[in-house]
Structure 1
Amino acid sequence: MIRRMKRNRVVLYATIAVLCLLLGVSFIVHTQCLRPSISYYQILRENIAKSSLMEPRTKTILLYTNFFDVKNWKLSAETVGPDYFRSLNCPVTDCVLTNNRHHLDSMADYDALVFHIAEPWAYSLFEKVPTLRTPSQIYVAANMESPAHTKHLLEGDANFFNWTMTYRLDSDVVWNYNNVVELDAADDRAFVGPSQRPQWRRGAENYRNETLEELARRKDKMAAQFVSHCETFSGRDELVKEIQRLMPVDVYGKCGTMECPRGSPRCARMLTDEYRFYFAFEN
């Protein structure tokens, strides 16, 4: 009798354990395996389709730091818009460029922030980094100088910027000093360089300009350089000294022995009338 009761108790416990296990498995299957599956590719396609249906809107770009000591980055005004870009014949004009941080209500409302990185972190970026940033907001690292003139360790920029804006042709935004254009070409073919494959106008081999030929014949000096930033990272001072061993190079400014007032029209005329070459080496 006692053995039978013990056996029945074991069977009861085993049955309860099996029922608990079945209930647990059923719960997991119902809550996890039978849930509607999420197609991330479908969500992506739906968002792309929605974005394509959205009306184009004007992008607002904030010049977050100064360009050295120039707050508006040498623009004609604190804020410029589509009319300004149309006047420059820009291919894209639906944007607003401003250095006014209060132009929009929130820092997160700007589509892109531009940082001038040729300055120390302590003075231009680190102490003034925005406290709010949206996932879609673009941070742009802008610099017209070589990497030697960022004035801070580039390692500190890792995972901070999305785009680059420099003189390099492989930058996201090419920011060069000047362009070469064809004055007589159609608008869509006017741009020549800087470019990896510049397309020059055909017929240049038959082009003659007697005024230029006469000017070239009158030149009686070899090369000149105007420079007051000495002992640079690039070592251009040493390069010029090596060249001077082979040919005459007149160096004007603090790094040389000759003088010509900065900004004087006489300097430009002197270069045009007297010198065959002008050295403009990166600092």
Structure 2
Amino acid sequence: MQIVGKVVWIHVHNSGHNTAKHDDLVAPQSGTDIWFANLPKVLKTGTEARSGVPKDKKTSVLLGAQARDKYTVSNIDDRLRKFSPDTPTLQLTKEVGPSNDQIDNISDVSQNKLPSLRNLIMDHKGSILKKQLSNMEVHRYKTIVVLNRHMWFLRGAKPGHGYFSHCEYKMCELSFDERKISSSAAIMFYGVSYPSKPPPTRNNPDQVWILAAWESPIYMHGASWENEVWKNKINWTMTYRIDSDIPTPGGKVAKDKSKIRDYDAIMKKKTKLIGWVVSHCRTQSKREDYVKHLEKVVPVDIFGRCGMSKPTNVFGLLNTTYKFYLSFENSLCKDYITEKLFDRQNLDVVPIVRGIGNYTLFYPKTSFIDTRDFKSAEELGEYLQYLDRNNTAYVQYLKAKEHLHTQSAYSVRQMGYCTMCKKLHKLDQNRHSYPDIYQWLLKDKCVKPTDI
């Protein structure tokens, strides 16, 4: 395996200091500044080499620097001594060999220099350094290049490591620079907006291709993903689907026993029956037609592009004034459950769901109403009339979720990026490829409504 990333060659200058008394890798905990390997048992001070190491090679040490840090001649010695007090004085040079040109800042070194140090270490008969070199290779930064970034795909994201700063594995960074594709550890494709064109060339077989998607397959470029050129290309999926390699559904449910509800006070403010906020007026699920049938039995207040103008604090209004909220998906597709349910479950309102996902994976069956449990919209309307007359029965729905709290889709995706980084650092345990991503993602994954 070739080491790739931010590296420097450091020439050990003999200034009278003793060499280090051990040959371990001084490995700070994850997230600290450097990886540093001492080679005292391999090499004498200065340029004299012990047996097993070519004598024309200078004593060298590998330092893997995080991309965001800058080390200079003036501070590098102190940085290394922090982890190994016996470290000899260091003089920076651009490469292994006779050059004495000093550099002021650590920068990328040409890739053809990297095998030289590896060979120098691997010629040594000891096993510790071989193991530590492998460890250094595994823990280098993993760059993930994001292609066709949708306007909300990485909302607020900036290039760099910020997305991973809170993760267990922090050594990853996002990039939107397509010039880094060939050297990156992974490429992310956003399924909805990726143009109908062939994939880029993959020169590194260890590079991971990740398909991300949080919109319904109905709105993906099916013709593009169906193309033969995509077969055996995608390695991981990061979608709302439960069977994704990195599942990132529309929310995550956690227990919250601190919630205390005064249901009598809540019910006194509930003066209206059903509210719905919607901006997509013609959909594959035909939810708009279902609502027309429902309105024959009960009133529905519609806010947004498809109804009345939306108040500034519309969800605050729904929380206090309305008993029910329509959590109707725009598509009837496998596992497709969005924030239309997750975000509303934090409100004192009972969601009415319409989709084909397994809602009970996330919430108790008694905390929502599913249109699939009724033969028609009219039958559902009659049941809602019953609950409107019977506060005791209605409140049971609210009580079923009183100790639950939903984390947002944004926080779930943040956790997904942490999972991605961990998997990239454990690549041998996570190798996978989709023979036909179209079959997995799109083919026969959506159905037409049958109850309208």
TM-score (norm 2): 0.39
1:209: which partner in 2?
261
Question: Take 2:168 and 2:301, find their aligned partners in 1: how far apart are those partners?
Answer: 42
1:166: which partner in 2?
239
The answer as to 2:164 corresponding to 1:85 is yes
Question: Take 2:277 and 2:193, find their aligned partners in 1: how far apart are those partners?
Answer: 24
Q: Tell me, yes or no, if the aligned pair for 1:61 and 1:97 is still in contact at 8 Å.
A: yes
Change (3 A) 1:52 1:175: farther
The answer as to 2:316 corresponding to 1:269 is yes
1:249: which partner in 2?
300
Q: Aligned residue pairs: how many?
A: 196
Question: Take 2:131 and 2:226, find their aligned partners in 1: how far apart are those partners?
Answer: 38
SS at match of 2:328: coil
Which residue of the other structure, out of 223, 226, 240, is the alignment partner of 1:155?
226
Which residue of the other structure, out of 168, 176, 194, is the alignment partner of 2:249?
176
The answer as to 2:295 corresponding to 1:221 is no
The answer as to 2:188 corresponding to 1:114 is yes
What does residue range 34-53 of structure 1 map to in structure 2 within 5 Å? 53=134
Shift in Å at residue 219 of structure 1?
0.8
Q: Tell me, yes or no, if the aligned pair for 2:163 and 2:173 is still in contact at 8 Å.
A: no
Shift in Å at residue 51 of structure 1?
10
1:42: which partner in 2?
none
More helix by share: 1
Question: Take 1:231 and 1:61, find their aligned partners in 2: how far apart are those partners?
Answer: 36
| 5+ long unaligned stretches in structure 1 | 1-48, 181-191, 193-199
1:74: which partner in 2?
155
SS at match of 1:237: helix
What does residue range 228-239 of structure 1 map to in structure 2 within 5 Å? 228-239=279-290
Question: Take 2:226 and 2:214, find their aligned partners in 1: how far apart are those partners?
Answer: 19
1:260: which partner in 2?
310
Q: Tell me, yes or no, if the aligned pair for 1:119 and 1:152 is still in contact at 8 Å.
A: no
Question: Take 1:236 and 1:132, find their aligned partners in 2: how far apart are those partners?
Answer: 42
Q: Which has the larger displacement, 229-238 or 140-149?
A: 229-238
Shift in Å at residue 113 of structure 1?
0.5
Question: Take 2:171 and 2:209, find their aligned partners in 1: how far apart are those partners?
Answer: 19
2:144: which partner in 1?
61
Question: Take 1:50 and 1:174, find their aligned partners in 2: how far apart are those partners?
Answer: 33
Change (3 A) 1:52 1:231: farther
SS at match of 1:121: coil
SS at match of 2:188: strand
Q: Give the aligned CA root-mean-square deviation in angstroms.
A: 2.9
Q: Tell me, yes or no, if the aligned pair for 2:148 and 2:193 is still in contact at 8 Å.
A: no
SS at match of 1:240: helix
Summarize deviations over 1:87-144 as a string: whole Å, max 9, x none. Answer: xx33332211121223x4xx2211110011112633xxx16x3234421111111111
Summarize deviations over 1:134-164 as a string: whole Å, max 9, x none. Answer: 2111111111111111133342343331111
Change (3 A) 1:149 1:221: same
Question: Take 2:264 and 2:185, find their aligned partners in 1: how far apart are those partners?
Answer: 52
Which residue of the other structure, out of 328, 347, 350, is the alignment partner of 1:281?
328
Question: Take 1:236 and 1:143, find their aligned partners in 2: how far apart are those partners?
Answer: 22
Compare relative contact order (CA 8 Å, sep 6+) and give the higher one, 1 or 2.
2
The answer as to 2:174 corresponding to 1:97 is yes
Change (3 A) 1:179 1:90: farther
SS at match of 2:222: coil
Question: Take 2:141 and 2:269, find their aligned partners in 1: how far apart are those partners?
Answer: 54
Q: Tell me, yes or no, if the aligned pair for 1:138 and 1:162 is still in contact at 8 Å.
A: yes
Question: Take 1:248 and 1:179, find their aligned partners in 2: how far apart are those partners?
Answer: 31
| 5+ long unaligned stretches in structure 2 | 1-129, 331-452
Larger Rg: 1 or 2? Answer: 1
Change (3 A) 1:93 1:243: farther
1:141: which partner in 2?
211
Shift in Å at residue 246 of structure 1?
3.6
Opposite residue 146 of structure 2, the aligned amino acid is: L
